[in-house]
C-alpha cells in the first residue's frame, strides 16, 4: 500500500481518472487528487472527493496557512506522483518549472517517482515543442507513460490518446515495487573532487563538479533509500531528503566512509578522489619571493581498496567509477577486478560534453559476470536511473 497523488489536468480524457483511482484503490493504495483549475471545470471535484474520501486540492492561494503546512507534509509523504491525464500545457509548465497553481507547485516539491501520462490531440502531441518538453521531463527523471494511437476526442484518428488504464497502473506498480525494494536500505554515495592542501591558500584538485554523485543521491532518495552523501567541495544544493557530509581531503572522505560503512548496504564511489597529495601541507602561505616551491607528492589512501579488505565487505555492494581516457572497457574491467567491486561505471573523460562538469554522461556499466550495459549519451539524471535499475537487478540476484 502506497500514498499516491493523482494529478489531473484538463484533457477530455479526464473521465478515465475515475477508473485510475478505482484501480489504484483495488491495489490498496490511498489516493489524493490534485486538480488544475481548468480540470475542475470539466469534472466536479466532488466526484473525486467521493471516490477517494479525501478533499480535492485545487488552488494553492486559497489554502489556509495551517492547511499549507499539511500540504508540505503531503509532498513529503507522497510515494508516487501520477499525472494523468497530462495536457500539453501542463507538460510545458512542468518542463519549464512554472509553479503557478497547486499541482505545478506540488511537482516541484515532491521527492518521489513521477509518472506523466499525456493525453491530447495528435497535432499537439507531435508538435516539436511538446516533444521537446517531454524530452526535458525525461531528462528530469520523469517517467512518461506514452500515449497511444486511436480515436481521439476531437473525432480524429491519431497519436495522443491517453494510455490504457491497465498500462498506467502496471507502470505505477512497477515503480512502487522498485521503491519498496530500497526502503530500509542505506546507501553511501561519494561525490565531487577532493582538495589536497599545498599551503593555506593552494591545493591540488580536479575538475569534478559533483553532478554525477548528486544525481545518484537524488535517485537513491527518490527510490526510498536512506542516503548519506559524502561530498567534496562543490557548488550544488543538497538533494532533498539526503544527509550531506562535506569534506575536503581524501583522508577526510575515507574517515567518513569508514564511519558509516558498518550500517550501509551499498557504497557508490562517484567522487574523483585525488590519487596524490603534497607530503606535507605548509602552515603559512608560500610567498612568490621565496622562489618556486618543490612539492613532494605522496599517494593518498585508496578508499575502495580499503573497503575491499574490510571484514564486513561481503555483506555490502561496492560500486566504483572508472574515469578513463582510453580503452574504456578493458581499463574499467581491470579496475573492477583490482578493487574487488561488484559493479563499475566507466566513463571516458576525454570526450568533450560528457564526464567531468557536464550535465551529460555516457557510461558503460560492467558487472563481474561479464555483462556490459551501454547508456548512450544521456543526462546524468537518466544515467543515475539506469545505474539504479542495474543495481536493483543485481540486488535481486544477490538475495
Ligand atoms: O563530478 P562530475 O563533474 O559530475 O563528474 C563525474 C565524474 C567524471 C567525476 C564521475 O563520473 C567519475 O568518473 N568518478 C570517478 C572518478 C575517479 O576518481 O576515477 P578513478 O578511475 O581515478 O578511480 C576509480 C575509483 O576509485 C573511483 O570510484 C574512485 O572514487 C575510487 N578512488 C579513487 C582514488 C582513491 N584514493 N580512492 C578511491 O576510492
Ligand 1 atom at shortest distance from the alpha carbon of 339: 26
Q: Whose CA is nearest to atom 36 of ligand 1?
A: 302
323 lines ligand 1 (CB under 6 A): yes
Tell me the C-alpha distance between 112 and 117, whole Å: 16
Ligand 1 atom at shortest distance from the alpha carbon of 306: 39
pLDDT value, residue 397: 82
> Hey, where are the domains in the chain?
3-181, 183-398
CA angle, residues 254, 255, 257, in degrees to nearest 5: 60
pLDDT value, residue 308: 95
Beta strand pairing status for 30-35 and 3-8? parallel
Rounded to two decimals, the pTM is 0.85
Q: Nearest Cα to 197, choosing from 289, 291, 297?
A: 297
**Peptide bond connecting 85 to the previous residue in cis, omega within 30 degrees of 0:** yes
Which residues are catalytically annotated?
154
Q: Nearest Cα to 353, choosing from 324, 376, 377, 329?
A: 377
Tell me the C-alpha distance between 267 and 374, whole Å: 21
Burial 344-357 (b: 16+ CB within 10 A, else e): bbbbbbeeeebbbe
Give the 3-state secondary structure percentages of the chain, helix then strand then coil, rounded to 5.
40, 25, 35
Half-sphere exposure of residue 165: CA atoms within 13 angstroms, side-chain side = 12
Signed CA dihedral, 211, 215, 216, 220: sign only: positive
Tell me the C-alpha distance between 376 and 384, whole Å: 13
- Non-local (6+) Cβ contacts of 354 within 8 A are 347, 348, 360, 361, 362, 377
Tell me the C-alpha distance between 47 and 53, whole Å: 10
pLDDT value, residue 355: 95
pLDDT value, residue 26: 97
Tell me the C-alpha distance between 10 and 107, whole Å: 16
Q: Nearest Cα to 83, choosing from 158, 151, 17, 181?
A: 17
355 lines ligand 1 (CB under 6 A): yes
Q: Whose CA is nearest to atom 35 of ligand 1?
A: 302
Identify which of 323, 332, 365, 379 to mutate to test ligand 1's pocket (most ligand atoms within 8 A of the CB). 323
Low-confidence ranges of the chain (pLDDT < 50): none
Ligand 1 atom at shortest distance from the alpha carbon of 270: 14
Phi and psi at 263, nearest 5°, equal: -90, -5
- 324 CA to middle of ligand 1, Å? 10
Tell me the C-alpha distance between 341 and 366, whole Å: 10
349 and 324 Cβ atoms separated by less than 8 Å: yes
Q: Nearest Cα to 118, choosing from 154, 143, 155?
A: 143
pLDDT value, residue 285: 97
Identify which of 304, 321, 378 to mutate to test ligand 1's pocket (most ligand atoms within 8 A of the CB). 321
Q: Nearest Cα to 384, choosing from 183, 113, 168, 146?
A: 113
The dotted CATH code for 183-398 is: 3.40.50.10300
- β-bridge partners, 276: 299
pLDDT value, residue 32: 97
Beta strand pairing status for 317-324 and 266-269? parallel
pLDDT value, residue 73: 86
CATH class of the domain whose range is 3-181 = alpha beta
Beta strand pairing status for 276-278 and 297-299? antiparallel
Amino acid at each position: 500500500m502506497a500514498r499516491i497523488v493523482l494529478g489531473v489536468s484538463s484533457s477530455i480524457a479526464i473521465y478515465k481518472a475515475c477508473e485510475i483511482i478505482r484501480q489504484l484503490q483495488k491495489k490498496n493504495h490511498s489516493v489524493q487528487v490534485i486538480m488544475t483549475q481548468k480540470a475542475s471545470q470539466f469534472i466536479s471535484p466532488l466526484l473525486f472527493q467521493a471516490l477517494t474520501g479525501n478533499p480535492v486540492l485545487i488552488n494553492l492561494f486559497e489554502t489556509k496557512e495551517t492547511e499549507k503546512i499539511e500540504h508540505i507534509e503531503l509532498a513529503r509523504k507522497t510515494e508516487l506522483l501520477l499525472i494523468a491525464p497530462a495536457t500539453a500545457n501542463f507538460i510545458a509548465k512542468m518542463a519549464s518549472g512554472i509553479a503557478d497553481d497547486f499541482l505545478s507547485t506540488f511537482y516541484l516539491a515532491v521527492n518521489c517517482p513521477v509518472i506523466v501520462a499525456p493525453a491530447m490531440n495528435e497535432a499537439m502531441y507531435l508538435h516539436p515543442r511538446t516533444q521537446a518538453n517531454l524530452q526535458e521531463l525525461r531528462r528530469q527523471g520523469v517517467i512518461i507513460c506514452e500515449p497511444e494511437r486511436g480515436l481521439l476526442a476531437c473525432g480524429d484518428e491519431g497519436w495522443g490518446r491517453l494510455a490504457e488504464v491497465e498500462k498506467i497502473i502496471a507502470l505505477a506498480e512497477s515503480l512502487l515495487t522498485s521503491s519498496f525494494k530500497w526502503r530500509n536500505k542505506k546507501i553511501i554515495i561519494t561525490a565531487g573532487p577532493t582538495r589536497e592542501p599545498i599551503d593555506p591558500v593552494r591545493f591540488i584538485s580536479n575538475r569534478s563538479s559533483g553532478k554525477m554523485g548528486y544525481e545518484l543521491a537524488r535517485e537513491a532518495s527518490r527510490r526510498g533509500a536512506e542516503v548519506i552523501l559524502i561530498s567534496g567541495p562543490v557548488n550544488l544544493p543538497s538533494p532533498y531528503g539526503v544527509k550531506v557530509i562535506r569534506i575536503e581531503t581524501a583522508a577526510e572522505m575515507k574517515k567518513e566512509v569508514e564511519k558509516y560503512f558498518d550500517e550501509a548496504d551499498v557504497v557508490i564511489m562517484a567522487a574523483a578522489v585525488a590519487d596524490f597529495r603534497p607530503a606535507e601541507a605548509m602552515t603559512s602561505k608560500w610567498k612568490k619571493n621565496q622562489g618556486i616551491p618543490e612539492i613532494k607528492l605522496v599517494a593518498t589512501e585508496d578508499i575502495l581498496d580499503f573497503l575491499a579488505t574490510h571484514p564486513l565487505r561481503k555483506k555490502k555492494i561496492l560500486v566504483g567509477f572508472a574515469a578513463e581516457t582510453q580503452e574504456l572497457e578493458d581499463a574499467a574491467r581491470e579496475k573492477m577486478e583490482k578493487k574487488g567491486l561488484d559493479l563499475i561505471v566507466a566513463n571516458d573523460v576525454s570526450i568533450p560534453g560528457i564526464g567531468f562538469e557536464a550535465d551529460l554522461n555516457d557510461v558503460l556499466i560492467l558487472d563481474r559476470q561479464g555483462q556490459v550495459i551501454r547508456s548512450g549519451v544521456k543526462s546524468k539524471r537518466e544515467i543515475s536511473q539506469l545505474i539504479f535499475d542495474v543495481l536493483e537487478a543485481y540486488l535481486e540476484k544477490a538475495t
